[in-house]
Amino acid sequence: MAETEQRLRYRLLTGPDDRAFCERVSAALDEGYQLHGPPTLTFDGERVIAGQAIVLPGPPRPLSVEV
């Protein structure tokens, strides 16, 4: 897999608190991501917006240092 195609180790999923949002979180869990902390909710004046942090488990990658 090319470096630009690597999955991010951390992602923050956000969107309206609806079935589509839950499906996105579920799909990420199926891809190997794990929930990181509790979900967050806010109200934008019209609808509830949800956010969920997810992470890929595993050892940390070494830092790349550009010279």
Closest CA to 55 of 5, 11, 21, 24: 11
pLDDT of residue 1: 46
Of residues 33 and 4, more confidently modeled: 33
Euclidean distance between CA atoms 53 and 34, whole angstroms: 9
For the CA atoms of 9, 10, 13, 14, what is the dihedral angle to 10 degrees? Answer: -160
CA 56 centroid distance within chain: 9
What's the start-to-end Cα distance of the chain, in Å? 25
pLDDT band at 60 (very low <50, low <70, confident <90, very high): confident
| pTM score of the predicted model | 0.78
pLDDT of residue 59: 78
Tens-place pLDDT, residues 9-58: 999 999 999 999 999 999 999 999 999 999 999 999 999 999 999 999 98
